Structure 1
Amino acid sequence: MKILKFLPLAALVFITGCSSVQVASDYDSKTDFNNYKTYAFFKEGIDKTEISDLDKKRILNAIDAELTKKGMVKSANPDILINIFTKAQQRVDITQNSYYSPWGYGWGWNPYWGSTYNTVSTSVEGNLYIDVLDAKRKELVWQGVGTGYITKNREKKEARINEFVTKVLKDFPPKR
Structure 2
Amino acid sequence: MKRWFIALAAAIFMSGCSTLEVQVDYDDKHDFSALSSFAVVYKNQNDGRDFSRDRISRQVTAYMKNKGYENVEKSAADFYVIMHLDVQQKSQVETNYETIGIRPVPYMYLGAIRPIGAYPGTYASGAMVMEPDVRVTTRTNEYEEGRLILEVFNVKENRVVWQGIARDELSKDYTQKEKSDYLNRVISELFKDFPLKK
| Interval containing the TM-score (normalised by the shorter chain) | 0.7 to 0.9
Aligned residue for 1:54? 51
Query: Among the aligned pairs, what percent are the same residue?
Result: 22
The one-letter code sitting in structure 1 at the alignment partner of 2:31 is D
Encode CA deviations 1:74-119: one digit per residue, 9 max, x unaligned: 123221111101222222222211222444269x672142321112
Q: CA deviation at 1:48?
A: 5.1
CA distance in 1, matches of 2:103, 2:191: 57
Aligned residue for 2:7? none
The one-letter code sitting in structure 2 at the alignment partner of 1:147 is R
Encode CA deviations 1:11-48: one digit per residue, 9 max, x unaligned: 99xx43xx131111112233101111211123xx4335
Matched, 1:138 2:153: no
2:189 aligned residue (151, 167, 174): 167
What runs of 5+ residues in structure 2 fail to find an aligned partner? Answer: 1-11, 106-124
CA distance in 1, matches of 2:33, 2:64: 14
Secondary structure (helix, strand or coil) at the match of 2:63 reads helix
Aligned residue for 2:4? none
Whether the 8 Å CA contact 2:102–2:132 is kept in 1: the answer is no
Aligned residue for 1:66? 63
CA distance in 2, matches of 1:94, 1:171: 36
Richer in strand (by share): 2
Q: CA deviation at 1:56?
A: 1.1
Aligned residue for 2:8? none
The one-letter code sitting in structure 2 at the alignment partner of 1:165 is I
Aligned residue for 2:103? 104
1:1-176 superposed matches below 5 A: 15-16=16-17, 19-42=18-41, 45-47=42-44, 50=47, 52-76=49-73, 77-104=76-103, 110-153=130-173, 155=175, 156-173=178-195
Alignment: residue pair count: 157
| TM-score relative to the length of structure 1 | 0.75
CA RMSD in angstroms comes to 2.8
Whether the 8 Å CA contact 2:26–2:161 is kept in 1: the answer is yes
Secondary structure (helix, strand or coil) at the match of 2:142 reads strand
| TM-score relative to the length of structure 2 | 0.68
The one-letter code sitting in structure 2 at the alignment partner of 1:74 is N
Secondary structure (helix, strand or coil) at the match of 1:162 reads helix
CA distance in 1, matches of 2:48, 2:27: 28
